[in-house]
Amino acid sequence: MQSDANSDDVNCDIPMTDSMMYSEEMFVFLTPDANEIFLSPAELIDKLKQVLTAYDGILSPELQKLASVEKQAEYLQQTHCEFETAPGETVQWYAVRLEK
């Protein structure tokens, strides 16, 4: 398919996607008792390591095959947004951008 820069269906007023849109500046971490904590990416990893260390259930196969709690926490941060800590109770985290 040939593209034509002067074509009417091309909107040149739309800016290119900014790669910064996809970088996480902060995370909000939600606990089952409805507390929310704002954390940096490194702080979120530390928090997830605490959650994983305290967890006494059976981890999913994808987490079990990772060599360390650090790697498990990194995997959760990058691929999930919640972790069940007990039946019916989860912690959740979401990337947020705080305005100055």
DSSP state of 20: G
Q: What is the pTM of this model?
A: 0.73
Question: In the chain, what's the furthest Cα-to-Cα distance?
Answer: 62
Rounded to the nearest 10 degrees, how much is the dihedral formed by the CA atoms of 12, 18, 22, 27?
-120
Helix (H, G, I), strand (E, B) or coil at 2: coil
Give CA–CA dist 76/17, Å, rounded: 26
Give the domain 25-96 fold.
Eukaryotic RPB6 RNA polymerase subunit (3.90.940)
Domain boundaries of the chain, sorted by first residue = 25-96
Q: What is the pLDDT of residues 44-85, one digit of tens each?
A: 999 999 999 999 999 999 999 999 999 999 999 999 999 999
Tokens of 3: 């593209």
17-44: pLDDT as tens digits: 444 444 558 999 999 988 899 999 999 9
Q: How many CB atoms lie within 10 A of CB 55?
A: 16
Residue 30 pLDDT = 96
